[in-house]
């Protein structure tokens, strides 16, 4: 089976919207809000990005929501400095202070590692590069963003629904 066939459940905007609404939130039927100083309408932007197949945008926007929401958990507390120490330290602190469980911490770490090659300019086959992720996952170069976008939506849904 080629990689395109593997994603038949995501081969149309209608199917992608259905997946988003079943895993994250149905923006047209549910009331929703989250913390972090971000307008909750960002979820509509993520849904639209996913609907139109902008999978890398989904990865970036999902992390934005998660990181800001987690950071908000520490604002006006004794651990407020954690909010600006980077996503890796934020995930660790959130797990340590029982803001999230260890399973979700692992998923958020996966989201962080998925996002990093898209935003940090590293080249070649070394650790943290896009090429390294392609080699490690054994996915087609064009498949990886699709898989990442789908996984980012799933992780965002788990994050929102656990909180």
For 125, the token pair is 């086959």
pLDDT above 90 covers a percentage of the chain that reads: 53
User: How confident is the model at residue 1, as a pLDDT?
Assistant: 61
**Taken in order 9, 10, 13, 18, is the CA torsion positive or negative?**
positive
Q: Note the pLDDT tens digit of each residue in 123-155.
A: 778 888 888 999 999 998 899 999 999 999 999
- 41 compared with 13, residue with greater pLDDT: 13
User: How confident is the model at residue 65, as a pLDDT?
Assistant: 92
Q: Where are the alpha helices (DSSP H) in the chain?
A: 3-6, 13-23, 42-51, 55-72, 87-96, 102-119, 130-137, 143-162
Total domains present in the chain? 1
Q: Note the pLDDT tens digit of each residue in 34-77.
A: 555 567 788 889 999 999 999 999 999 999 999 998 998 888 78
List the domain range (segments joined by +) for residue 133.
3-162
């Amino acid at each position: 089976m080629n990689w395109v066939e593997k994603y038949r459940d995501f081969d149309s905007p209608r199917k992608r919207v259905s997946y988003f609404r079943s895993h994250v939130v149905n923006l047209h039927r549910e009331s929703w809000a989250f913390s972090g100083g971000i307008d909750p309408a960002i979820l509509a932007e993520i849904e639209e990005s996913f609907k139109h197949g902008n999978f890398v945008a989904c990865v970036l926007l999902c992390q934005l929501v998660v990181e800001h929401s987690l950071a908000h958990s520490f604002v006006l507390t004794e651990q407020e400095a954690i909010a600006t120490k980077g996503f890796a330290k934020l995930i660790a602190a959130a797990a340590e202070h029982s803001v999230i469980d260890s399973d979700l911490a692992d998923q958020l770490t996966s989201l962080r590692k998925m996002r990093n090659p898209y935003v940090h300019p590293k080249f070649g086959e070394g650790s943290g590069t896009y090429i390294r992720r392609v080699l490690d996952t054994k996915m087609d170069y064009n498949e990886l963003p699709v898989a990442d976008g789908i996984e980012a939506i799933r992780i965002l849904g788990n994050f929102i629904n656990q909180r």
